[in-house]
């Protein structure tokens, strides 16, 4: 059980039998009456965001969440296929549960998969991934003093902004949390 004093951004709690992630919270102490905590919660199964208020000292359940090391294998009509690194069991997740993570998924990359009541509900990518540039315009010589960027298509199909000196075929490091270019590899 968690108390409202344990609330922080990123904490996972269970409400009405569903797992939620605390996106934001605010501790409010009015001049009259008891303190309360105003929270913004994201349903980890559906992605729905809701606002809920808790009285100070109120208790909430810990969700039955398990994190397992998995390897991404392939995508087909059933969804995205992952394999457990320990027992080689395979799990499928649909595109809806992956969210923006699918933009940086490359075959054979290791991820952490989150399970709620033995059902996969999402993945956590490594912080940085290395991907190849498949298409970009050539940079204009002498135009680098401004720190200008240009669009580039990665091997996964997502388009990001890269510096002008990056060319087709280059391998770049991407921050999966923000989707930003980090460096050329």
Query: Residues 101-140: pLDDT tens digits?
Result: 888 898 899 999 988 888 888 888 899 999 999 999 887 6
For position 151, what pLDDT does the model report?
92
The third-level CATH classification (topology) of the domain covering 2-60 is SH3 type barrels. (2.30.30)
For position 37, what pLDDT does the model report?
93
For position 164, what pLDDT does the model report?
86
Cα dihedral angle (108, 110, 116, 117), rounded to 10 degrees?
Answer: 70
Mean pLDDT of all residues belonging to the chain: 88
Average pLDDT estimate for 94-101: 81
Strands 59-60 and 2-3: antiparallel
Q: Where are the domains of the chain?
A: 2-60, 65-124, 128-184
For position 15, what pLDDT does the model report?
92
Residues 6+ apart with CB under 8 A from 175: 127, 128, 182
Instruction: Retrieve residue 47's tokens.
Output: 């992605």
Query: Residues 145-166: pLDDT tens digits?
Result: 667 888 999 998 999 999 888 8
Q: Which residues, in sequence order, are bridge partners of residue 101? A: none
In this chain, the answer to whether the domains covering 65-124 and 128-184 adopt an identical fold is yes
Chain position carrying tokens 């991404």: 72
Q: Which helix (H) or strand (E) holds 96?
A: helix 95-98
**Does residue 144 surpass a pLDDT of 80?**
no
User: Among positive and negative, which fits the CA dihedral 52, 123, 93, 104?
Assistant: positive
The architecture in CATH of the region 128-184 reads Beta Barrel (2.40)
The architecture in CATH of the region 65-124 reads Beta Barrel (2.40)
Question: Residue 10 — very low, low, confident or very high, per pLDDT cuts 50/70/90?
Answer: confident
Query: Residues 47-75: pLDDT tens digits?
Result: 889 999 999 989 999 988 888 999 999 98
Q: Please, are residues 133 and 170 in contact by the beta-carbon 8 Å criterion?
A: yes
How would you label 109-144 residue by residue, b for 16+ Cβ within 10 Å and e otherwise? eebebbebeeebbbbebeeebebebeebeebeeeee
Residues 94 and 42: their CA atoms lie apart, in Å, by 18
């Amino acid at each position: 059980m968690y108390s409202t004093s344990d609330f922080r951004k990123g904490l996972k709690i269970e409400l009405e039998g569903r797992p939620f992630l605390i996106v934001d919270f605010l501790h409010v102490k009015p001049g009259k009456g008891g303190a309360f905590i105003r929270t913004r919660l994201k349903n980890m199964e559906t992605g729905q965001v809701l606002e809920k208020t808790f009285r100070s000292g109120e208790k909430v359940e810990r969700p039955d969440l398990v994190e397992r090391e998995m390897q991404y294998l392939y995508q087909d009509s059933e969804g995205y296929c992952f394999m457990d690194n320990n027992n080689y069991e395979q799990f499928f997740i649909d595109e809806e549960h992956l969210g923006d993570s699918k933009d940086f998924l490359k075959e054979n990359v290791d991820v952490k998969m989150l399970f709620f009541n033995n059902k996969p509900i999402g993945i956590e990518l490594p912080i940085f991934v290395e991907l190849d540039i498949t298409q970009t315009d050539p940079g204009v010589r002498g135009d680098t003093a401004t720190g200008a960027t240009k669009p580039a298509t990665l091997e996964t199909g997502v388009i990001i902004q890269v510096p002008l000196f990056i060319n087709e075929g280059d391998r770049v490091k991407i921050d999966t949390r923000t989707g930003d270019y980090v460096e050329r590899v």
